[in-house]
Amino acid sequence: MTRARRYGSVLFFLLAWEAASQLKLVPEFFLPSWVSIGQQAWVDTASGQLPMDIALSMFRALTGLSMAVLVGVPLGAAMGRVKAVRWFLDPLVSIWLPAPKVTFFPLFVIWFGFGSASKIALIFVACTFPLINMTYLGTVGIDRYLIWSARNMGTGERKILWKVVLPAALPQIFNGLQIAFPVSLIVTSVTEMLGGGGGVGASMMESARFALMPRVFVYLIVLAVVGAFSMSLMAQLRRLLLQWHEEAQAGR
Amino acid sequence: MVAGAGRSGHLVGERRSPAQVLFLGKYSPLAYMIAAWELATAAGLIPELLLPRFSDVMAAWARMMLSGELPEHALSSIWREAAGFSSSVVFGITVGIAMARFRVLRDLFEPLLRLLFPLPKSALIPILIVWLGIGHLSKIAVIFLGCILPVIVSSFNGARGVDRHLVWSALIMGTGKRKLLWRVIIPGALPDILSGTRLALAVSFVLLVGSEMLAGNTGLGFLTYFLSEAGDLAGMFAAIFTLTLLGFLADRLYLRFMRRILIWQREDQE
Amino acid sequence: MSESRVKIRAAGVSKTYISPGGESVLAIDGVDLEVRENEFLSIVGPSGCGKSTFLYLVAGVLEVTGGELVKDGAAIRGPGPDRGLVFQHFALFPWRTVMGNVCYGLEEQGLPRPERTGRARELIQRVGLKGFENVYPNQLSGGMKQRVALARTLAYDPEVLLMDEPFGALDAQTRLLMQEELLELWSERKKTVIFITHDVREAVYLSDRVAVMTARPGRIKRIVETRAPGSSAGREHVETQEFVEKVNEIWSLVRDEVVIS
């Protein structure tokens, strides 16, 4: 019964959509039929445009995100362990974290031009703040007995960072990453919509301007799939890396 | 989440001289940054074509405030934000809790939610512009649809996660099935609901700015874009500054509201 | 005491539940037990033997799947304020103050505000928490929380007090103190108590009778009289030879089951 309802509701949703579209209850312009969406997907895949757009968008998102990890995690750890750094960064982070970073896109275009650089720069900025914040929260709250016992066993101060602090903060760092990944996809698509220059967002916006609704939906579905795929990838990675953590055991 | 960062920033102990407050106080790093900005641009280290002077930005801000340009666009943005966000909160909490209470609803909605939840919400902007035009409605709809999923999911999880011992206690003490919702389920789900809603608030601002930049002729997002195209860098910075301030204020207000409501979560005595 | 009537009767009570994995699990299987009016009865047994499940069945928050469970001659159907339940982890409403928690049951009975605050104040004082009326549970220690839970339950004056390892989460000293206070309260107010515990000494110290349960699926293995009818309860018995023998007797019964499970 439960299962029937579950699959039924999705099936019903899709069928109702198709019927409304095919029977012209809703203009094709609003809800394109699944047949036309499928045809469009085929055309765009065959022409190579769809794969190219996906590759370009993923390149931008992942470049920006990796840069954010490389910068945000060390900064956050420094904030958590060094008082002077905390004093300096705390007010900056607390003001920039909730700011809608997309606002800065016009400025970044002036600085870095219309190509990929301005987009990647904005993705980097938008993803860095949640990473700094979560790494900071993870490193500042570390059980001091852990550090004491490591010192006691002869771990040098510098090694403590690698051997104790970062591993202990890993669950929080992952929380940061799980916030930053969706942010990177959102910022990628919005900057592409705004700035053009190829990619999923740009093609989507262009199709919307010319009212090519089947294609808009193709790209919408692509984005949903990419989002779902990256989410489950992150969850799996988390399980793999955090096997020692209680949450991983609870999941089994 | 920034909450944890708030209290710990002091280098200085109990007794602080005015000079210490000025140079080492909580928000003094901001002042240093601004001073560095002003000096670097005034000295010509950074060309004003790339970065206007801070004093020019403030002058532009004052001018645009007085001329009514900034307030007008800000009001337009605030209205969209408020309408979209508050309606998504009301609907989202209702649907989320109803899903937790009624199995039928859960079975019907959960697969759809699972399908739609990972979608980067910005993907809705082009479609809603086509459907609803470039006025207020499309922006409100983007914010509403973008925020409603996190609110539903957190309300659902919160209501499902209420300790069954609390529910039992209430039932034993004579709370009826209907009153249980108000007396136990909703208060118990509140911490989850409020933190999910805070995430939605952050997303809503991104969607607001993105959709205003993409279409329409009012709002701070539009203004930023318009001024950048017109080459008025100082004015653009004034608009960015206003938006950042609004985002910060909204988050702080929400945090204060959340602390007030969840006062019972505090572990230290007052 | 010898003439006292039966308050709660379980005849062949069993409970099957569906585990999250979808299998059906037999938690208790054919529990026969009679609890007399105003008696203090403890149930001990190995972990997972279903003693808490039995308590929840009496409370009416779980439903019996086999057998007969009767209070005052009528089958138990659903929870009600005639049977108060106290949990190991207190189950206080975290969003209500101490006063708000103690008042809850009285609110549901529709008692006007001045009366319920008066009664609550009295009980809060009785459990030694005067001055903490407006504090939230989060700010209290475990022992204090359990006192609030006790006051909350006593406030609506149930006939039967069901206690699910109420002192299991407390430290050793608080535990001893709470045991004494519970005995005092019980002899003041005379209620029927069913008390679940892991701690055999605690059971012998508190109870008139101790029921030992088998490993899962739980059944009553033996019932041991621990206090001669009419004799008083108190700390002074703890050192007697008789007390130590009772503890050893019951412990060896439990121990056999722990080894099995």
Q: What is the DSSP string of chain C?
A: -TTPPEEEEEEEEEEEEE-TTS-EEEEEEEEEEEEETT-EEEEE-STTSSHHHHHHHHHTSS--SEEEEEETTEE--S--TTEEEE-TT----TTS-HHHHHHHHHHHTT--HHHHHHHHHHHHHHTT-TT-TT--GGGS-HHHHHHHHHHHHHHT--SEEEEESTTTTS-HHHHHHHHHHHHHHHHHH--EEEEE-S-HHHHHHH-SEEEEEPSSSB-EEEEEE-S-TTPPP-GGGGGSHHHHHHHHHHHHHHHHHHHH-
Helix (H) or strand (E) holding B194: helix B186-214
**Chain A residues in contact with B208 (beta carbon < 8 A):** 100
B237 located within any domain: yes
Nearest chain B residue to A112, by CA: B50
**Chain A residues in contact with B210 (beta carbon < 8 A):** 102, 190, 193-194
From the list B165, B173, B267, the residue facing C156 with the nearest CB is B173
Q: How far is A6 from chain B (nearest CA, A)?
A: 5
**Chain A residues in contact with B225 (beta carbon < 8 A):** 106, 194
Q: What is the domain range of residue B172?
A: 70-269
Nearest chain A residue to B237, by CA: A107
**B228–A213: do the CB atoms touch at under 8 Å?**
no
User: Both tokens of residue B204?
Assistant: 């809503």
* A-B contacts (CB, under 8 Å): 188
Give yes or no for a contact between C83 and C95, defined as CB atoms under 8 angstroms apart.
Answer: no
From the list B163, B174, B264, the residue facing C136 with the nearest CB is B264
**Chain B residues in contact with A230 (beta carbon < 8 A):** 118
Chain A CB within 8 Å of residue B221 CB: yes
**A107–B27: do the CB atoms touch at under 8 Å?**
no
**Chain B residues in contact with A103 (beta carbon < 8 A):** 209, 220-221, 224, 239-240, 243-244
Nearest chain B residue to C102, by CA: B173
Chain C CB within 8 Å of residue B117 CB: no
B28 located within any domain: no
For residue A91, what is the DSSP state?
H
Question: A32-43 burial string, b = 16+ CB within 10 Å, else e?
Answer: bbbebbeebbee
B117 located within any domain: yes
Give yes or no for a contact between C46 and C122, defined as CB atoms under 8 angstroms apart.
Answer: no
**HSE-CB of C156 using CA atoms within 13 angstroms:** 30
**Chain B residues in contact with C87 (beta carbon < 8 A):** 165, 169
Neighbours of chain A (3+ CB pairs under 8 A): B
Helix (H) or strand (E) holding B164: helix B164-172
From the list B33, B111, B248, the residue facing A10 with the nearest CB is B111
> How many structural domains are present in chain B?
1
Give C155-200 pLDDT, tens digit per residue. 998 999 999 999 988 888 888 988 998 998 888 888 999 999 989 9
User: Both tokens of residue B219?
Assistant: 């709002």
Q: How far is B193 from chain C (nearest CA, A)?
A: 15
User: What is the predicted pLDDT for the residue at C1?
Assistant: 44
CA distance B74 to B195: 26
User: What is the predicted pLDDT for the residue at A73?
Assistant: 94
Nearest chain C residue to B268, by CA: C139
The residues pairing with C195 across neighbouring beta strands, listed in sequence order, are C42, C163
**B126–A194: do the CB atoms touch at under 8 Å?**
no
**Chain B residues in contact with C96 (beta carbon < 8 A):** 264
From the list A9, A111, A133, the residue facing B2 with the nearest CB is A133
**Chain B residues in contact with A99 (beta carbon < 8 A):** 205, 243-244, 247-248
Show which of residues 132-171 on chain B sit within 8 Å of chain C, judged by CB atoms: 163, 165-166, 168-171
CA distance C143 to C145: 5
From the list B109, B203, B236, the residue facing A107 with the nearest CB is B236
**B174–C81: do the CB atoms touch at under 8 Å?**
yes
Which residues of chain A are modeled with pLDDT < 70? 1-3, 245-252
Helix, strand and coil in chain B, % to nearest 5 = 80, 0, 20
B54 located within any domain: no
Q: How far is B172 from chain C (nearest CA, A)?
A: 5
**Chain A residues in contact with B28 (beta carbon < 8 A):** 91
Instruction: Give the residue from C170, C168, C154 showing the smallest Cα distance to C203.
Output: C168
**B269–C135: do the CB atoms touch at under 8 Å?**
yes
The ipTM is: 0.88
B63 located within any domain: no
B30 located within any domain: no
Q: Which residues contact A24 (CB under 8 A, 6 or more apart)?
A: none
Give yes or no for a contact between A44 and A218, defined as CB atoms under 8 angstroms apart.
Answer: yes
**C139–B190: do the CB atoms touch at under 8 Å?**
no
Q: How far is B173 from chain A (nearest CA, A)?
A: 33
Chain A and chain C touch, per 3+ beta carbon pairs within 8 A: no
Q: How far is B157 from chain A (nearest CA, A)?
A: 17
Which residues of chain C are modeled with pLDDT < 70? 1-3, 228-236, 261
Which residues of chain B are modeled with pLDDT < 70? 1-17, 19-23, 267-270
B43 located within any domain: no
Mutate to test the interface with A, among B70, B127, B195 (most CBs of A within 10 A): B127
The residues pairing with C75 across neighbouring beta strands, listed in sequence order, are C70
Q: In what order do the strands lie in the sheet with C160-164?
A: C83-86, C160-164, C192-196, C40-44, C209-213, C220-225
Q: B17-24: long-range contacts (C-beta < 8 A, 24 or more apart)?
A: B24/A87
**Chain B residues in contact with C61 (beta carbon < 8 A):** 168, 171-172
**B173–C104: do the CB atoms touch at under 8 Å?**
yes
The residues pairing with C34 across neighbouring beta strands, listed in sequence order, are C9
**C84–B267: do the CB atoms touch at under 8 Å?**
no
B61 located within any domain: no
User: What is the predicted pLDDT for the residue at C69?
Assistant: 93
User: Phi and psi at residue B48, in whole multiples of 5°?
Assistant: -70, -15
User: What is the predicted pLDDT for the residue at B22?
Assistant: 65
Question: C33-50 burial string, b = 16+ CB within 10 Å, else e?
Answer: bbbbbbbbbbbbbbeebb
Chain A CB within 8 Å of residue B169 CB: no
* B-C contacts (CB, under 8 Å): 65
**HSE-CB of A193 using CA atoms within 13 angstroms:** 31
Q: What is the CATH number of the domain that holds B111?
A: 1.10.3720.10
**B169–C137: do the CB atoms touch at under 8 Å?**
no
List the domains of chain A with CATH numbers: 31-239 (1.10.3720.10)
**A100–B209: do the CB atoms touch at under 8 Å?**
yes
Q: Which residues contact B128 (CB under 8 A, 6 or more apart)?
A: B138, B141, B142, B145, B211
**B243–A2: do the CB atoms touch at under 8 Å?**
no
CA distance C214 to C221: 6
Give me the DSSP letters along A121-158. Answer: HHHHHHHHHHHHHHHHHHHHT--HHHHHHHHHTT--HH
User: Phi and psi at residue C223, in whole multiples of 5°?
Assistant: -115, 130
Radius of gyration for chain A, computed over Cα atoms and rounded to the nearest angstrom = 23
Instruction: Give the residue from C95, C94, C82, C1 showing the smallest Cα distance to C41.
Output: C1
